[in-house]
């Protein structure tokens, strides 16, 4: 039995008040809140184990390294990678994409090659490929969406003959869950390398990179209950082995002379400089927490809340929901427009009632241009979201309408 | 104290959002500039026509929130009939006075309020090519 009230007890911030009102946090797709266990893990590291990793020969340094490297195994299991060498720690999804751009793309994409992505991508999985295409005089092909906000089936043909395919498993605006398994198979069949942006999907459902069949998968820790500055890039070992480093400097080297350097083994070759050690340990605790809840339960809960939000929002006059109508076709978020009111005003008035949503283009400007809207409002959910918070959102929207006489 | 929505959304602001003043474009504008507020997706374009150093027409179009739209209406209204040189001196406080708002504790709304001013400044520093 999924007890949301009990789960909420683990998140101290949910007891906070903003402007004297209880916080209704509906912006988890931007970043999730963190359970106390995660916060404690970060502070305990600084209180008891702080030392730099992969260099200290003293006990504290060894302990820090052990705790840090243990997380790599947790991530490996969480996404079902074959080996911990396939897990590279990154700051976030954006950095992971850039690692692929510079490490793989610059070496392998040639003039005239085709790169395929989709119109629903977050800038982090769009701008790098747009720029790679420009730098290499390659062509960027963009798969369009249908009226429901799903990828157009017939446009998947664009994958044929492409060299690289980048697609999100879940859209951060439409909420659409893409059939990444199918897309990665099409990519594989046509000899293309595939990258899946898991920023919204990894925190929402079970992720199995072997089942998906992707070459790369990127995600951010801070959207899945972990601290900021954490994330990972999964890459197939044979591809990583042939990839160039992205950042040069300490930790990523094997031997350095005045004339030349040789590179460290996987995964450290791609992790130059001192990492965010305490935060990464926090990521490990966040993964434990999600696993304890069970990713299937997390998925079911988010789907439940999303279904309720779709129903309630659908009842509000003037609200237009963006994206698929069925909760089971969505990650845990709903973006919408409110007729005659700009999203920024929607968010501002909701904020006055303690309700936090996001308004704007959600780092998906190509999608908003495609939908021909300047911006949208988005409510997004997580393991701790309860239906009463959707009710508060609806009451808040009625207030917005009153202020605007809409 | 941060302004609450009752204080922020004064009746005249909502009215200007619904029925903006000087909304539209000027095809033979002497000065024109576009500005974006990347945080929320607002876009504004300011058009200015000048004759003998005096602003004879000022318009705006684009899409934005109530605050940026009201600000654009009031600002274009304010600069009409003034000399270009004196309007170049207009600043943040002048705009806030027009809006009757104190946004010192609302930094994100401050950006909305100042978007038309920023666009105007950008426009008058760089005349349209060919002019």
Tens digits of pLDDT across chain A (406 residues)? 899 999 999 999 999 999 899 999 999 999 999 999 999 999 999 999 999 997 778 989 999 999 999 999 999 999 999 999 999 999 999 999 999 999 999 999 999 999 999 999 999 999 999 999 999 999 999 999 999 999 999 999 999 999 999 999 999 999 999 999 999 999 999 999 999 999 999 999 999 999 999 999 999 999 999 999 999 999 999 999 999 998 999 889 899 999 999 999 999 999 999 999 999 999 999 999 999 999 999 999 999 999 999 999 999 999 999 999 999 999 999 999 999 999 999 999 999 999 999 999 899 999 999 999 989 999 999 999 999 999 999 999 999 999 998 7
Structural domains of chain B, count:
1
Is B11 contained in some domain?
yes
A321 with A176: CB under 8 angstroms?
A: no
B47-76 tens-digit pLDDT: 999 999 999 999 999 989 999 999 999 999
pLDDT of residue B130: 37
Spatial distance between the Cα atoms of A229 and A159, rounded to a whole number of angstroms: 33
Nearest Cα residue in chain A from B19: A340
What's the token pair of residue A11?
């998140």
Nearest Cα residue in chain B from A340: B18
Active site (catalytic) residues of A: 363
pLDDT of residue A54: 79
Mutation target vs B (from A123, A337, A348, A363; most B CBs, 10 A cutoff): A348
Is B43 contained in some domain?
yes
Domains of chain A: 4-28+294-404 (3.90.1150.10), 40-292 (3.40.640.10)
pLDDT of residue B42: 85
Q: State the Rg of chain A over Cα.
A: 22
Question: Hey, is the C-beta of B23 within 8 angstroms of any chain A C-beta?
Answer: no
Question: Hey, is the C-beta of A30 within 8 angstroms of any chain B C-beta?
Answer: no
Contacts of A346 (CB under 8 A, 6+ apart): A338, A357, A359, A377, A397, A400
pLDDT of residue B129: 40
Question: Hey, is the C-beta of B64 within 8 angstroms of any chain A C-beta?
Answer: yes
Is B33 contained in some domain?
yes
Spatial distance between the Cα atoms of A71 and B11, rounded to a whole number of angstroms: 55
pLDDT of residue B128: 44
Scanning the structure block, which residue is given the tokens 């079970």?
Answer: A206
A192 with A180: CB under 8 angstroms?
A: no
Confidence of residue B104 (pLDDT cuts 50, 70, 90): confident
b/e string for A42-70 if b means 16 or more Cβ within 10 A? beebeeebebebbeeeeeebebbbebbee
Instruction: Note whether A19 contacts B42, CB cutoff 8 Å.
Output: no
Q: State the Rg of chain B over Cα.
A: 14
pLDDT of residue B1: 64
Spatial distance between the Cα atoms of A83 and A240, rounded to a whole number of angstroms: 12
A:259-288 residues touching chain B, CB 8 A cutoff: none
Detail the DSSP E strand segments found in A231-284. 231-235, 253-256, 261-263
CATH number at residue B76: 3.90.1010.10
Is B12 contained in some domain?
yes
Instruction: Note whether A404 contacts B42, CB cutoff 8 Å.
Output: no
For B62, the enclosing helix (H) or strand (E) is: strand B54-63
Nearest Cα residue in chain B from A399: B5
A-chain CB neighbours of B40 within 8 Å are 343-344, 359-361, 375
Is B131 contained in some domain?
no
Is B20 contained in some domain?
yes
Spatial CA neighbour of A271 closest among A237, A239, A247:
A247
Residue B126 confidence (pLDDT) above 60: no
Identify the DSSP state of A226. S
Is B130 contained in some domain?
no
List the single residue in A340, A365, A403 with the smallest CB-CB distance to B9.
A403
List the single residue in B41, B63, B65 with the smallest CB-CB distance to A345.
B65
Contacts of A36 (CB under 8 A, 6+ apart): A10, A11, A12
A-chain CB neighbours of B64 within 8 Å are 342, 344, 374
**How far A344 CA sits from the closest chain B CA (Å)?**
6
Regarding pTM above 0.90, the answer is yes
Spatial distance between the Cα atoms of A344 and A398, rounded to a whole number of angstroms: 16
Mutation target vs B (from A19, A173, A344; most B CBs, 10 A cutoff): A344
pLDDT of residue B40: 73
Is B29 contained in some domain?
yes
Q: What is the ipTM of this complex?
A: 0.85
Measured from the Cβ of residue A180, the count of other Cβ atoms closer than 10 Å reads 25
What's the token pair of residue A241?
């082995």
Residue A168, Cβ density class (10 Å: 0-12 exposed, 13-18 middle, ≥19 buried)? buried
Domain interval for residue B99: 5-125
| A355-356 and A24-25 beta bridge pairing | parallel
């Amino acid at each position: 039995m999924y007890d949301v009230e009990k789960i909420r007890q683990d998140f101290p911030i949910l007891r906070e008040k903003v402007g004297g009102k209880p916080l209704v946090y509906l912006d988890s797709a931007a970043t999730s809140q963190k359970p106390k266990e995660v916060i404690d893990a970060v502070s305990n590291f600084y209180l008891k184990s702080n030392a730099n990793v992969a260099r200290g020969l003293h006990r504290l340094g060894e302990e820090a390294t052990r705790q840090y490297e243990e997380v790599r195994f947790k991530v490996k299991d969480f996404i079902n990678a074959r080996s911990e060498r396939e897990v590279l720690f990154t700051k976030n999804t954006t950095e992971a994409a850039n690692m692929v751009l510079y490490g793989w793309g610059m070496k392998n994409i040639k003039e005239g090659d085709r790169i395929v992505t989709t119109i629903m991508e977050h800038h982090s999985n769009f701008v790098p490929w747009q720029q790679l295409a420009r730098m290499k005089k390659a062509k960027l092909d963009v798969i369009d969406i249908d009226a429901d906000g799903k990828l157009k089936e017939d446009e998947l043909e664009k994958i044929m003959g492409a060299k690289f395919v980048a697609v999100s498993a879940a859209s951060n605006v439409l909420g659409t869950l893409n059939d990444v398994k199918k897309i990665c198979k099409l990519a594989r069949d046509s000899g293309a390398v595939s990258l899946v942006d898991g920023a919204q999907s990894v925190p929402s459902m079970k992720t199995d990179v072997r089942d998906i069949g992707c070459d790369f998968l990127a995600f951010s820790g801070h959207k899945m209950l972990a601290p900021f500055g954490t994330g990972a890039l999964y890459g197939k070992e044979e591809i990583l082995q042939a990839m160039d480093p992205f950042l040069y400097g300490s930790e990523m080297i094997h031997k350095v002379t005045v004339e030349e350097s040789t590179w460290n083994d996987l995964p450290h070759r791609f992790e130059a400089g001192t990492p965010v050690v305490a935060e990464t340990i926090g990521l490990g605790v966040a993964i434990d927490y999600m696993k304890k809840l069970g990713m299937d339960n997390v998925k079911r809960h988010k789907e439940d809340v999303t279904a309720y939000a779709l129903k309630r929002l659908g009842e509000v006059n003037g609200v237009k929901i963006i994206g698929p109508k069925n909760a089971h076709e969505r990650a845990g978020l709903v973006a919408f427009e409110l007729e005659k009111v700009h999203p920024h005003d929607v968010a501002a008035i909701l904020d006055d009632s303690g309700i936090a949503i996001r308004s704007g283009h959600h780092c998906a400007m190509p999608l908003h241009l495609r939908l021909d809207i300047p911006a949208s409002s988005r409510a997004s959910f997580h393991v701790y979201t309860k239906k009463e918070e959707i009710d508060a959102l609806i009451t808040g929207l009625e207030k917005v309408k009153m202020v605007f006489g809409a | 104290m941060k302004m609450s929505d009752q204080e922020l959304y004064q009746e005249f602001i909502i009215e200007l959002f619904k029925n903006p003043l000087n909304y539209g474009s000027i095809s033979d504008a002497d000065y024109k500039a576009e500005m974006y507020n990347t945080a929320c997706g607002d876009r504004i374009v300011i058009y200015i026509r000048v004759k003998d150093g005096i602003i004879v027409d000022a318009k705006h179009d684009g899409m934005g929130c109530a605050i940026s739209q009201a600000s654009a209406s009031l600002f274009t209204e304010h600069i009409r009939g003034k000399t270009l040189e004196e309007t170049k001196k207009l600043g943040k406080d002048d705009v806030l006075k027009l809006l009757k708002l104190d946004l010192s504790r609302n930094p994100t709304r401050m950006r909305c309020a100042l978007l038309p001013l920023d666009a105007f400044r950008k426009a008058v520093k760089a005349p349209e090519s060919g002019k």
